[in-house]
Structure 1
Amino acid sequence: MIVRILTEGQFEIPDTLVERLNELDNAVLAALDSGEEQEFKVSLAALLGAVREAGTPVAADFLGASDATLPYADATVEETRALLKSDGLIPG
């Protein structure tokens, strides 16, 4: 899976991490639903951190599509909502 973090680039994510990313995605969604800004920031930071830590950066000249697009670290609730798909930020 290729995940793009806006303003940072793309990361190739091993299949073994997808379930964990979905758990973190669910935490972001719950924070969005509750309207808790601090909870949103913490859960988004955890999701982005997991992608950065376990993902392998994709070469800058790679032109393939991303499977998921995540907001940048300082994104607002509204900016994040604009990226949501029917199953959240991470497909699956």
Structure 2
Amino acid sequence: MIIRIMGEGQYRAPDAIIEDLNAIDNRIVELVEKGDREGFRNELLRMVSLVRERCEPLEASEIVKSDLILPPSDLTFEEARGIFRGQGLIED
């Protein structure tokens, strides 16, 4: 799976990471619905960090279609309301 972090680049992700990302994604949806800005910020940073730490960055010259696009780590809470709703970024 190829994951893009907006404004940062693409990563080749092992299949095992998808379940972890989905769990974080679902928590972010709940936090946004509750209006928990601090919790949202912490989980978003956790999601982006997980990709940075456990996935292999692709070379900038390698252009591949992304299977999943994550928002940047500086996404505002207001922007998150339009993204993290329903099933979030990753559909179960």
Q: Match for residue 15 of structure 2?
A: 15
Map of 1:13-92 to 2, 5 A cutoff? 13-84=13-84, 87-92=87-92
- Check whether the contact 1:70–1:83 (CA below 8 A) recurs between aligned residues: no
* Identity in percent: 37
Q: Which amino acid aligns with 2:37?
A: E
**How many residues were matched structurally?**
92
TM-score, normalising length from structure 2? 0.87
Local SS of the residue matching 1:10: strand
Instruction: List per-residue Cα deviations over 1:16-70 (Å, max 9, x = no partner).
Output: 1111111111111111111111011001011111111101001111222111111
Q: Normalising to structure 1: TM-score of the pair? A: 0.87
After superposition, the CA RMSD in angstroms is 1.7
CA–CA distance in structure 2, aligned partners of residues 40 and 83 of structure 1: 12
Contact 1:68 1:91 in 2 (8 A): no
